[in-house]
Chains A and B, each alone.
Chain A
Amino acid sequence: MAGLFERIVNLDRRWIFLIVLLSVATPIVIPIGLPVTTTGPTRAAFEFIEALHEGDVVLISFDYGPSSAPENDPMAEAVMRQCALKKLRFIVCALYPLGGLGLANNVVAKITGELPNLRDGVDYVNLGYKDGPAAVMRRMGDDIAGAFPTDVHGKPISEIPLMKGVHDLRQVKLVFTAATSLIGEWWITQVHPQVGIPVIIGPTAVSAPKYYAYLNSGQLVGMVGGMKGAAEYESLLRARYPQLATFYTTTRAFTATKGMDGQTVLHTVILLLLVLGNVAYLRQRRASAKARA
């Protein structure tokens, strides 16, 4: 038995890589369909947007890149669908330099493809990307056109109907930032004190623990944390808008809900590895203590 534990602890890490690969690939090939339970921060985010009125303006900021797209894309899509169904007007911008613009373009194209009634410039506008996020946010607080003189296609802001009543962030009811880095945090710590706008953040799971402090202090009105948070948001959206079920039940489209199967299986595997590793360690420690005594 001791020999077996020794062998397990000294296993070539490439076997562990294979176990990880199989753990994640299996639920994709054989979906399990595990349930998703919702948590307070995600419910708070969902209900805040539900409480907004038709015609209210929401800013959706793409502050992430392909390195966290499986987590942030589903939540950005879900929020955009919710805004479209509630007839909220939304402004899209991207402040993350390494890939934010491409992802913003793709998500907007996807949602406007699903909901062809959305009119560019009237129901939504894509302002594109801008460098220097801190300076951009500061400028948007007082004058959006000062930071974004045109939309992503090069059309001047003054010619866009949606922007006619929106001079600065004080006319925007909410900022939703899907974020992988500090840029998302700056909406909370820089823009919120500057103009008092409510902020919902959709961070990656890696940075989500930090944002509980901002939730507690009231600087955030909600949080959609990681792929789990996105899956929770999808389940809330499906429950409130049954007509969206088709987008979440086709076998091909990647959704956070489907991703949770793989998360659960791999969590189980990693917990098993943790337990095995620590049991082997404790046995080793006991054996060396006996040897010394």
Chain B
Amino acid sequence: MHPPEIGVWIAAFLTIACLTFLYKDNPFFRFAESLFAGVSLGYYVGIVLNQTLLPNLIAPMREHFGQNWDLVVPGLLGVLLYMRYAPKIGWVSRYALAIYVTYYIGLDFTRRIHGEVLPQLARAIQPLSSFDRATFFSLVYVLGVFSVLVYFFFSKEQGPITRRISRLGIWFLMISFGAAFGFTVMGRVALLIGRLNFLILDWIYPTLGI
């Protein structure tokens, strides 16, 4: 068994520094936290430059400017975004921001309608052509979808009937949130398992020669 390399020691020290927060806030944790913030931002610089700006903006203009002359515009718009930090002409960044936000919101609009509303409604509308277990469960499903939608309808005050349907919707939501809690426990624990696995099997054991 080889002793762990220096990178493993660094990772182990940083892992333990973060875990010390569980006892109480301390300078080791603050150090690790600040380093994390700095390294994350530096990571962004590295990936944006190497994976987006170089291959999608700089290289196409450098190699085939005639085909890609229009890429000057997104490049300048990108720089324009940073003008918001200039006190007198910060308002020019609104052009870049407006284009960026409204484009992605336009994509979001089509995604919501075609990817969420229509397919989910289609699933909720099922034929009652046979009376078997599948149809019964489909009815339960449909009841759940519509009672939840009635619960979320806030535009008008709810009457006695809609209040009862809302209550059923809340029960469906509670089952869903309970399930979500159960899954969340699994998700969070998995992260801890990964870290402890690293500390024990990749650092402690090799250090002790196990």
Report which A residues bind B (CB closer than 8 A).
Answer: 14, 17, 20-21, 24-25, 28-29, 67-71, 97-99, 101, 128-132, 134-135, 138, 148-150, 152, 154, 186, 188-190, 192-193, 204-206, 208-209, 213-214, 216-219, 225-228, 251-252, 254, 258-259, 262-263, 266-267, 270
C-alpha gap A154/B196 in the complex (Å): 37
Given A149-B56, A150-B55, A226-B190: A217 touches B47 (CB 8 Å cut-off): no
Can you sample 12 A-B contacts with CB below 8 Å?
A: A24-B196, A68-B190, A70-B191, A70-B193, A98-B40, A131-B51, A188-B115, A209-B183, A216-B141, A254-B197, A258-B197, A262-B193
Check A216 against B179 for contact (C-beta < 8 Å): no
B59 cross-chain contacts in A, Cβ below 8 A: 149-150
Q: Are the CB atoms of A263 and B122 closer together than 8 Å? A: no
CA distance A93 to B25 in the complex (A): 38
Contacting A at CB under 8 A, from B32-68, are 40, 43-44, 47-48, 51-52, 55-56, 59-60
Complex Cα distance, B193 from A69, in Å, reads 11
Query: Are A217 and B119 in touch, CB under 8 angstroms?
Result: yes
A199 to chain B, nearest CB (A): 11
Contact among A68, A129, A218, A226 for B119, CB-based, below 8 A: A218
Neighbouring A residues of B176 by C-beta, 8 Å: 209
Flag if B202 contacts A228 (CB, 8 Å): no
Which B residues are CB-close (under 8 A) to A131? 48, 51-52
Query: Residue B120 at the A interface, CB < 8 A?
Result: yes
Q: Is residue B73 within 8 Å, beta carbon to beta carbon, of the partner chain?
A: no
A68 to B44, CA, bound (A): 18
Determine if A251 and B111 form an interchain contact, defined as CB atoms under 8 angstroms apart.
Answer: no
Given contacts A28-B200, A219-B115, A129 and B51 within 8 Å (CB-CB): yes
8 Å CB contact of B107 from A67, A152, A190: A190
Query: With A24-B196, A188-B115, A217-B119 as given contacts, are A227 and B190 in contact (CB-CB < 8 Å)?
Result: yes
B158 within 8 A of A: no
B189 and A99 contact, CB distance less than 8 A: no
B209 contact set on A, CB distance < 8 A? none
| CB pair A217 B184 closer than 8 Å | no
Those of B67-119 within 8 Å (CB) of chain A? 103-104, 107-108, 110-112, 114-116, 119
- Mostly, the B contact residues are helix
Chain A residues whose CB sits within 8 angstroms of the CB of B43 once the complex forms: 98-99
Per the bound structure, the CA–CA distance linking A168 and B119 in Å amounts to 24
Cβ-defined contact, A226 with B123, below 8 A: no
* Contact residues in B for A152 (Cβ distance below 8 Å): 51
Provide the main secondary structure of the chain A interface: helix
Partner of B187, one of A188, A206, A219: A206
Beta-carbon contact of B184 and A206 below 8 Å: yes
- B122 neighbours in A (Cβ, 8 Å): 217
Q: Which residues of B contact A99 (CB under 8 A)?
A: 43
Q: Are B104 and A134 in touch, CB under 8 angstroms?
A: yes
Are A128 and B119 interface neighbours, CB within 8 A? no
Set of chain A residues within 8 Å of B116, measured between Cβ atoms: 189
Bound: A130/B195 CA distance, A: 28
User: In the complex, are the beta carbons of A189 and B115 less than 8 A apart?
Assistant: yes
Compute how far the CA of A53 lies from the CA of B59 in the bound complex, rounded to whole angstroms. 37
Closest to B22 in A: A17
Q: With a CB–CB cut-off of 8 A, which chain A residues contact B187? A: 68, 71, 204-206, 226-227
4 shortest interchain CB distances as A-B pairs: A189-B115, A70-B194, A205-B187, A217-B123
Q: Known contacts A14-B23, A97-B47, A208-B183; decide if A71 and B190 are in contact (CB<8 Å).
A: yes
The reply to whether A259 and B190 contact each other, CB–CB distance below 8 Å, is: yes
A residues less than 8 Å from B195 (CB atoms)? 70
- Given A17-B22, A67-B191, A228–B104 Cβ distance below 8 Å? no
Residue from the list B111, B115, B202 in contact with A252, Cβ < 8 A = B202
Contact among B40, B111, B189 with A266 in the assembled complex (CB-CB below 8 Å): B189
Known contacts A71-B187, A130-B56, A267-B185: A259-B197 contact under CB 8 Å: yes
Q: Which chain B residues border A266 with CB–CB below 8 Å?
A: 185, 189
Q: Scan B163-185; emit 1 where CB is below 8 A from any A CB, else 0.
A: 00000000000001001100111
Q: Which residues of B contact A217 (CB under 8 A)?
A: 119-120, 122-123
